[in-house]
Amino acid sequence: MQKSREPSRAIAAVEPHGAEQRRNVSRPLGELVREKLDAGTLPHDAPLKLWAGRGEDHRCTLCDEPILRSHIEYEPQYDGRPPIRLHVGCYGFWEGERRRRGYPPSY
């Protein structure tokens, strides 16, 4: 039996707790996310699509730590941008800061 891949359902099934390990980051993520939004490393605009899936050891665009295979990876999709990959927690910081700045939610 084949499961169809529906981003909105996948996201609803993902709860932002438990999966994150404590990371050894030297700077608070709230500060990093503001910096990366200001620098354009992270976009303000809502993505065209948002995928959620298993980590593949890629580095997180926000915290630069690898997203382990035991973790969930969020991948907001844009045209003409390098791939963005985020931990669940990092995605939350990005989403929260975007909304605080008055941009539309990504889902």
Stretch that binds Zn ion, among 45-53, 55-63, 76-84, 94-102 (CB under 5 A): 55-63
Among 87, 91, 97, 98, binds Zn ion (CB under 5 A): 87
Three-state SS for 25?
coil
Among 33, 42, 60, 84, binds Zn ion (CB under 5 A): 60
3-state helix, strand, coil in the chain (%, to 5): 30, 15, 55
Q: Which is nearer to Zn ion, 5 or 85 (CB)?
A: 85
Which residues, in sequence order, are bridge partners of residue 86? 74
Among 90, 93, 94, 95, binds Zn ion (CB under 5 A): 90
Consecutive H or E run containing 52: strand 49-54
